[in-house]
Amino acid sequence: MSRLTSWLPSAVSRPVRAWAWTTWVVQVLIVVTGGAVRLTASGLGCPTWPKCTVDSLVNTPEMGIHGVIEFGNRLLTFVLVIVAIGTFLAVVRLRRERRDLFVLALLIGLGIPAQAVIGGVSVLVNLNPYVVGLHFVVSAAMVALSTLLVTRVYIQGTLAPTGAVAVLAWIVAALQSVTILVGILVTGSGPHAGDAQSPRNGLPSDMLQHVHSYPAYAALLTTLAVGIVALRRGRPDIARVALALLCVNGTQAIVGIAQSNLGLPPFLVGVHMLLACLVVTGSTWLVSVSRRLKRK
């Protein structure tokens, strides 16, 4: 057995970090392509699952561009599987000394079937907005896990005592989670819920847009507080992460206001979804670094 695994990494090296980053990239990419499916009204481009049609595993020419887009998104799942296997193999020999990396790689690998099944169920229930929303929640969780994996291949240290910075970082993460959840409800009530015939959740979009903005602005201010407190406590490493998240949050707010005032153009909505992934990444990164002692 040792001969079979001797070629695998035995320490956190450049290949391990490369696999971690690749995991994060493909998890963000599946969200972006899933957004393209929704924004081009291709949610039922393949009208059934797991086949594309009752008689065909793949899309057919008669299905047009919507079939291509939807089936292309489905094919990306296989890329996720390949990357998950590669990442798992990259850390499997580290399972004793770096159990955190092993567990994260395992959870990400197990999450991919969940993503695929929920995505398939959303097609079978004609893009029910709550099932589609659950699909995004799972995808956001996968982005968070992938971010943790990336941070952990760089940061290894003793957990710090819970202090003001860590508490504020967790508050930021909680506020961002609420923002995303309300944003899912906003999308489910609007024109980009799937395709022209898919059901909406019937909730008032205008009111939800305002509700969506409140925790987002609160997260913005709390992130600023994290940066200030971190600097005062001699943690410029945490302050830099807070600054990066502050920039993403600010850009997200600007895009959100613009798309609302311009009637939700698909391109801006797609950018908003990409930025949501970056917000999840930044929030997870902030929590992760705030719970580690300063490296000497």
What is the band of 296 on the pLDDT scale with cuts at 50, 70, 90? very low
Range from 33-47, 104-118, 160-174 carrying the lowest mean pLDDT: 33-47
pLDDT, tens digit (0-9, with 9 covering 90-100), for 116-150 = 899 888 888 888 888 888 999 999 999 999 999 99
Range from 196-210, 239-253, 254-268 carrying the lowest mean pLDDT: 196-210
The answer to whether residues 201 and 189 touch, using CB atoms and an 8 Å cutoff, is yes
What is the band of 106 on the pLDDT scale with cuts at 50, 70, 90? very high
- Whether the full predicted model's pTM is greater than 0.75, yes or no, is yes
Question: Which pLDDT belongs to residue 200?
Answer: 72
Question: Which pLDDT belongs to residue 229?
Answer: 95
Question: Which pLDDT belongs to residue 231?
Answer: 94
Does the pLDDT of residue 166 top 70, yes or no? yes
Q: What share of the chain in percent tops pLDDT 90?
A: 48
Question: Which pLDDT belongs to residue 87?
Answer: 96
Question: Which pLDDT belongs to residue 41?
Answer: 72
